[in-house]
Amino acid sequence: MDSNLHDLAMLAIPSEFLPVHRLGTPPHDEWMAVLPDSTEIVVADVNGKPNPIGIEKAIAIVQSRAYLEARARQLLVPLGKEDGEWRLIVIDFGIEAQHHDCEFLMCFAFQATKSDLADTSPYVEVGFALPVRLSISPSFSPMFILTIQTTAGLDG
């Protein structure tokens, strides 16, 4: 990766990830950073540290975020919410993404025009998966398959 691009991406991803303990089955540790727009970046824990491969993926995805987020939002259109907007709240490279066999998840919550996000806000996880695991070469340009992995709080 070009060092200038890497430096620019690091401006968008804080260099310090904070440890997060997730309750679940089984409980697990992950690491989280928060972007200036409040989007959370989650990477898996490896031996008490953020997964370096997860951080490298996060840097690459944040660089292409506008394009990838627009693709994910296309899947949200049929969900028919008109009185507000879908807000990207998490880009997950951690255990949840691995659970869905995805490279990463973009997690969106619906925020109604006249209210704040709440635990009951509709929620959708869009998974980005590669059709096959390929070795990364300098000319590698991934083509992701997008699918809705998880939904909560949607009517109908």
**SS3 track for 73-127:** HHHHHHHCCCCEEEEEEEEEECHHHHHCCCCEEEEEEEEECCCCCCCCCCEEEEE
pLDDT at 26: 73
DSSP helix/strand/coil, 128? strand
User: Taking each helix axis from N to C terminus, what angle separates 52-63 and 3-12, rounded to the nearest 10 degrees?
Assistant: 90
Q: Tell me what the pLDDT averaged over the chain comes to.
A: 79
For residue 147, pLDDT over 60 is answered with yes
Answer yes or no: pTM beyond 0.75.
Answer: yes
Query: Which of the four pLDDT bands, split at 50, 70 and 90, describes residue 11?
Result: very low
Instruction: For 30-57, write each residue's pLDDT tens digit.
Output: 999 998 889 999 999 999 999 989 999 9
Which H or E element spans position 150?
A: strand 145-152
**Which DSSP category does 53 fall into?**
H
Q: What is the span of the domain harbouring residue 124?
A: 3-152
The mean-pLDDT minimum among 47-51, 61-65, 109-113 falls in 109-113
Provide the domain count of the chain. Answer: 1
CA distance 111 to 97: 23
